[in-house]
Amino acid sequence: MKNTFKIFILLFVVAINFNSFDANAQRPMHEIHSMLIFNFIKYIEWPADTKSGKFVIAVYGDDDVYEQLNKLYGQRKVKGQDATIMNISDVSAISNAHIIYLASNKSKDFEAILERFDTKPTLIITDKTGLGKKGSSINFREVGGKLKFEINQATFDNSDLKISSQLVNMGITI
């Protein structure tokens, strides 16, 4: 019960300051990214044909984000589905995912991921300047020492994902 309460409080604080984390804060960046990834889910609707089986979150290039997501959310239901958090070491290992998180150190593989998932209902979240404009759904970006996120509305439209206006208002629309 205490852990549930702590997670609730943590998510509440994240929701209040959703798009402006201090990049120099004491909380490690992988924890912030993990919390934001999980919170994005609340504001996005996937098509009906993706709502059976497992809710798959693939993490490519960041073991810390994978471990954090798996620790906090691996045994939970996401959108009514059991969550599966995958740590991917190669783009070809991703066959189907609701979310792909691409760490900045693997951004050279962005084009290959985009080619495979461009029109699929997959939320592609990146962490490298310029990838939002190149087609990722959501891209983390530092602005004035604060962590913010960009939202590429055209990518959402092409992938048949519905994004809440609340999330759009919290991000930087590109």
Q: Is the pLDDT of residue 16 over 70?
A: no
Threshold 0.95, pTM exceeds: no
Q: Where are the beta strands (DSSP E) in the chain?
A: 21-22, 44-45, 55-60, 77-78, 81-88, 99-102, 123-126, 138-143, 146-151, 162-163, 172-173
Angle between helices 29-42 and 63-73 (to 10 degrees): 50
Query: Taking the domains of the chain in order of start, what are their residue ranges?
Result: 2-173
Between 54 and 17, name the one with better pLDDT: 54
| Structure confidence by residue, pLDDT tens digits, 152-173 | 999 999 999 999 999 999 999 9
| Structure confidence by residue, pLDDT tens digits, 121-136 | 999 999 999 999 999 9
Q: Topology of 2-173 in CATH?
A: Rossmann fold (3.40.50)
